[in-house]
Amino acid sequence: AQSVTQLDSQVPVFEEAPVELRCNYSSSVSVYLFWYVQYPNQGLQLLLKYLSGSTLVKGINGFEAEFNKSQTSFHLRKPSVHISDTAEYFCAVGGSGNNRKLIWGLGTSLAVNP
Partner 1 sequence: NAGVTQTPKFQVLKTGQSMTLQCAQDMNHEYMSWYRQDPGMGLRLIHYSVGAGITDQGEVPNGYNVSRSTTEDFPLRLLSAAPSQTSVYFCASSSGRLNTEAFFGQGTRLTVV
Residues in contact with partner 1 by the rule CB under 8 A: 9, 32, 34, 41-46, 49, 51, 90, 94-96, 99-102, 104-107
CB of 62 to partner 1, least distance (A): 19
CB contact at 8 A, 69 and 80: no
Q: Which is nearer to partner 1, 105 or 110 (CB)?
A: 105
Q: Which is nearer to partner 1, 15 or 32 (CB)?
A: 32
Picking from 29, 31, 10, 18, the residue whose alpha carbon sits closest to that of residue 74 is 31
CB of 18 to partner 1, least distance (A): 25
Q: Which is nearer to partner 1, 25 or 105 (CB)?
A: 105
CB contact at 8 A, 105 and 89: no
CB of 78 to partner 1, least distance (A): 20
Q: Which is nearer to partner 1, 80 or 96 (CB)?
A: 96
What b/e sequence results for 3-33 when a residue is b if at least 16 CB atoms lie within 10 Å of its CB, and e otherwise?
ebebeeeebebeeeeebebbbbbebeeebeb
| Contacts for 38 with CB less than 8 Å, ≥ 6 apart | 44, 45, 87, 88, 89, 90, 107
CB of 97 to partner 1, least distance (A): 8
